[in-house]
Structure 1
Amino acid sequence: MFEVVVPATSANMGPGFDSLGIALGLYNKYYFEEIEEGLVFEGCPDEFKNENNLVYISMKKCFERTGYQCKGIKIVFDTKIPVSRGLGSSAACAVAGALAANQISGDVLSIEEILKLTTEIEGHPDNVAPALFGGMIASAQNKEEVLYSKAKIDESFNFYILIPDFKLSTQKSREVLPKKIDYSDGIFNVGRTALMLCALSNGDGHLLKASFQDKLHQPYRSKLIEGYDLFMKTLNDLDNTAGFISGAGSTLAVITKENDEKVVEKLKFIINNLNNKWIIKKVDIDYEGAKIINS
């Protein structure tokens, strides 16, 4: 039996729709063992103990690529990434399954081939790329090729996530998006994305609010998240701080250079005035990405 550890991820990051993602210090752990026959799941809800389990689906697709004939599989789950909260839970499953199957196959595929495989499963690389490589990743698809590069983040920034007790499916979040956008909105987001990457790299906290503005997805998805308007209004009182929807939601994220005490005080004010239950977590950036631990 061996272990695969995969970090949570926050994609989109304000204006970086479907192109930017960051790995966070919140982890799912999966334990894999090839057995004589059958399919055994432990530690996950009963509804996922079948062949439609995303970890298993990812394993099967990887075995198809490697040509390995697997006899049977046992998977044990120890998961901390909440499901359908915009923190990359499905990407973590896809990455874990592919890495595990490749390990069982004898490390046939390169990490770039794993990235391509998991991107096919997820549909886009903005979550799977940081899950695999860690850090903040800019990614894009060029026909069948997946392009990526790790962006620098100045160590002076702090990250927080606000996780609610309600789910928000990616499908529902996609449905509210417009089919077409104005040319001016596209220009707006291109400029903000470029500014954000430079601001994060150079430690320019005073540029956070402006650079995290977005016109492609957050104006539409924010209506699905009760408390979003209060969240943004409250954060406007903080200098060197920006808030954004993590992935497709429902989690909200904060990046700041302000002191912890002031930020936590503001975040507690927000969640104490909302109807749903929320938890606040300060999270580190994970710079390692997914890893395999052999017992």
Structure 2
Amino acid sequence: MTTLVGRTASVKVPATSANLGPGFDTLGLSLALYDELEVTATEAGVRVDIEGVGAGEVPTDESNLVVRSIAHAFAHYGVPLPGLHLKAKNSIPHGRGLGSSAAAIVSGIMAAKGLLEGVVDIDSDALLTLATELEGHPDNVAPAIFGGLTIAWTTPDGPRAKKLIVHRGVSPVVCVPAATMSTALARSLQPESVPHADAVFNVSRSALLIAALLQSPELLLEATEDKLHQDYRASAMPETYELIQVLRRHGLAAVVSGAGPSILVLASDPSQRLVAAELVAEASSNPWEALLLAVDFKGATVITHEVEAAAQP
């Protein structure tokens, strides 16, 4: 069998924003903000070096989410896990609704794909399945893997996703607060059932949102209306909720990014992003960081390097 020791996988994974208003647990968008990872297979042990977001905060041993994700993929294919040296350079904010945990999971699965190149072929369906097993739902991991706009759903045979290319006029801006938000807390505020009229409302807006994102950005404000989750979660992030109302009153398609508390604005032209950032700064007494981002169309990437082989004469 091919020895893995000395093999290195270089991974790049984008941030994501799930739900996009009405598309609860279904729609996700890949954003051009990245976590980068280099993983080298070693003889034994685990070493994790972190630069940027999470440095000094996240675990640097076997309990690290990226390490656990690599181990999960190796175990799935019955391949013994080698020692690992991880070098992570993180840019995606943690606990802000930008898919940081999904990015960590996808980073690990992609690293496993790179390390196992020539040993096991991990195709796109397997990437989605493995990542969803760890994340619990596919709405964030799908855009992280595939890029662009994704529609994710589950079947008896596992998760599925369809990638779509967003209209070039759509210009995202994410407003990020200093405060964090627990996804588990946000989900706990969801009722087990909703009125029939609200369900129909969201079905119509979700369908309209696909049309708006693909070909009619002028419909984004109406298409991002929601009655399934954002109002129920408002009590946990009142400032986010209030700022979204301000933005929407000014004609901007603002929604909670993922579980929050960040705000995603799907502007229909680049100039609207500056307006959104100014409105948030004016309306809030707390600091918010405005990230003017492009839609990422590539998704996660991995490159494999044979370090020791390259060093031989």
TM bucket normalised to smaller:
over 0.9
SS in 2 for 1:85: coil
Distance 1:258 1:156, change over 3 A: closer
| Equivalent residues of 1:234, 1:266 under 8 A apart | no
Q: Distance in 2 between matches of 1:204 and 1:60?
A: 42
User: What is the CA distance between 1:263 and its match in structure 2?
Assistant: 4.1
Q: Distance in 1 between matches of 2:33 and 2:207?
A: 27
| Equivalent residues of 1:66, 1:109 under 8 A apart | no
Aligned ranges 1:1-295 → 2 under 5 Å: 1-43=8-50, 44-45=55-56, 47-106=58-117, 107-205=120-218, 207-239=219-251, 241-258=252-269, 260=271, 263-295=273-305
Q: Distance in 1 between matches of 2:42 and 2:16?
A: 31
Amino acid at match of 2:24: F
Distance 1:275 1:152, change over 3 A: same
| Equivalent residues of 2:165, 2:297 under 8 A apart | no
SS in 1 for 2:88: strand
Amino acid at match of 1:257: S
Q: Distance in 2 between matches of 1:22 and 1:211?
A: 15
* Structure-1-length-normalised TM-score: 0.94
Q: Distance in 1 between matches of 2:273 and 2:123?
A: 42
Q: Deviations over 1:44-94 (max 9, x none)?
A: 425411222111111111001222112300111100001111101001111
SS in 2 for 1:2: strand
User: What is the CA distance between 1:226 and its match in structure 2?
Assistant: 3.5
User: What is the CA distance between 1:266 and its match in structure 2?
Assistant: 4.2
Amino acid at match of 1:276: N
| Equivalent residues of 1:5, 1:27 under 8 A apart | yes
User: What is the CA distance between 1:271 and its match in structure 2?
Assistant: 2.5
Q: Which stretch shows the higher mean deviation, 229-238 or 279-288?
A: 229-238
How many corresponding residue pairs?
292
CA-based RMSD of the aligned residues comes to 1.6
| Equivalent residues of 1:63, 1:102 under 8 A apart | no
| Equivalent residues of 1:125, 1:146 under 8 A apart | yes
User: What is the CA distance between 1:111 and its match in structure 2?
Assistant: 1.7
| Equivalent residues of 1:56, 1:97 under 8 A apart | yes
* Structure-2-length-normalised TM-score: 0.88
Q: Deviations over 1:139-195 (max 9, x none)?
A: 100023222112232111211000010110100111111111111111111111001
Amino acid at match of 2:290: I
| Equivalent residues of 1:153, 1:203 under 8 A apart | no
User: What is the CA distance between 1:223 and its match in structure 2?
Assistant: 2.4
Q: Distance in 1 between matches of 2:68 and 2:75?
A: 11
Q: Distance in 2 between matches of 1:25 and 1:294?
A: 22
